[in-house]
């Protein structure tokens, strides 16, 4: 029997999310699989909890490709590896912390014929205040470099056509923890058709950020700042 073709693949990076991962995946799946044939690309690496076990169990029930490693790869490498495994015509990316509301997916999906990339815009972002502060400061610096039209260039809720991923993925990875900052400036400078969609952003379902602890934010910010020069140089070269 010929299997039905997949409409959209859903990339979800996972690190130490045992407390919530089953709930998050089931919520996404029940929303999207009602109307579309979908498959997850789950990128789990280095978790010290039961995340991998829970996901493996879920894979008996929910269609997924599991990209696992016992070493933690870091957010950007995990997402990049997931993007390289894409085979469907569309890729939806969202985090596994429950902050993105999968109901918003349908606003993205409606726009898919008119745009190459659809970005989430967290109008009311539910993160701790100091995180919002640092993110805003970085936004102003980023805008000095790239002058993008985006309100929320680091939103981890994105729908992208496969040809865009194929074009850009090999160049990605200059910001080990801040994948979307780089991704959005690359799609912008490559002149793809892009739309921002307002989304409902929630507090983490449980646990706390796996990346941006207050003790790490200065180091990450500094390295991201240096990466901006590198990305700018690369983009300028591409436009020569
Ligand atoms: N595969 C993988 N996923 C990660 C890694 N670090 C964080 N994540 C996942 O990426 C998402 C965002 O991480 P989080 O720490 O919540 O960052 P925040 O939402 O930006 O505060 C979560 O779903 C994490 O489980 C990593 O090193 N590897
Ligand atoms: Mg988050």
For each of the domains in the chain, give its residue range(s) and CATH number, in order of start: 8-238 (3.90.550.10)
* Exposed / middle / buried, residue 2 (Cβ in 10 Å: 0-12, 13-18, 19+): exposed
Distance (Å) from CA 156 to ligand 2 centroid: 8
For 69, phi then psi, to 5°, come to -150, 150
74 Cβ inside 6 Å of ligand 1: yes
Counting from 1 in the atom list of ligand 1, the atom nearest the Cα of 127 is 21
Cα 47 to Cα 16: distance, rounded to the nearest angstrom? 5
Ligand 2 ion local residues (Cβ < 5 A) = 95, 97, 99
Cα 225 to Cα 136: distance, rounded to the nearest angstrom? 13
Distance (Å) from CA 238 to ligand 1 centroid: 30
The b/e string for 133-169 (b: 16+ C-beta within 10 A; e otherwise) is ebbeebbeebeeebebebebbbbbbbbbbeebbeebb
What pTM does this model have?
Answer: 0.96
- pLDDT tens figures, 87-146: 999 999 999 999 999 999 999 999 999 999 999 999 999 999 999 999 999 999 999 999
Distance (Å) from CA 3 to ligand 2 centroid: 34
Distance (Å) from CA 80 to ligand 1 centroid: 13
- pLDDT tens figures, 150-207: 999 999 999 999 999 999 999 999 999 999 999 999 999 999 999 999 999 999 888 8
Q: What is the dihedral of CA 21, 215, 203, 24, to 10 degrees?
A: -10
Query: Cα–Cα distances in Å, from 181 out to 21, 106, 113?
Result: 25, 24, 24
State the pairing for strand pair 8-14/90-93.
parallel
234 Cβ inside 6 Å of ligand 1: no
Counting from 1 in the atom list of ligand 1, the atom nearest the Cα of 99 is 19
pLDDT at 239: 85
Cα 154 to Cα 172: distance, rounded to the nearest angstrom? 14
């Amino acid at each position: 029997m010929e299997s039905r073709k997949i409409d959209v693949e859903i990339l979800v990076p996972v690190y130490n999310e045992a407390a919530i991962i089953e709930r998050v995946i089931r919520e996404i799946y029940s929303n999207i699989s009602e109307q579309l044939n979908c498959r997850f690309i789950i990128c789990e690496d280095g978790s010290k909890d039961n995340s991998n076990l829970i996901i493996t169990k879920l894979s008996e029930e929910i269609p997924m490709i599991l990209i696992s490693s016992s070493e933690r790869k870091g957010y950007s490498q995990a997402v990049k590896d997931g993007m390289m495994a894409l085979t469907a015509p569309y890729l939806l990316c969202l985090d596994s912390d429950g902050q993105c509301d999968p109901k918003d997916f349908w606003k993205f999906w409606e726009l898919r014929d008119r745009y190459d990339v659809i970005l989430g815009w967290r109008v009311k972002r539910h993160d701790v205040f100091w995180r919002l502060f640092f993110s805003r400061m970085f936004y102003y610096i980023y805008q000095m470099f790239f002058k993008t039209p985006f309100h929320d260039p680091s939103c981890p809720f994105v729908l992208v056509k496969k040809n865009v991923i194929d074009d850009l993925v090999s160049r990605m990875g200059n910001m080990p923890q801040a994948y979307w900052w780089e991704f959005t400036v690359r799609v912008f400078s490559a002149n793809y058709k892009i739309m921002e969609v307002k989304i409902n952003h929630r507090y983490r379902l449980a646990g706390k950020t796996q990346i941006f602890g207050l003790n790490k934010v200065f180091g990450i910010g500094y390295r991201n700042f240096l990466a901006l020069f590198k990305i700018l140089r690369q983009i300028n070269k591409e436009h020569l």
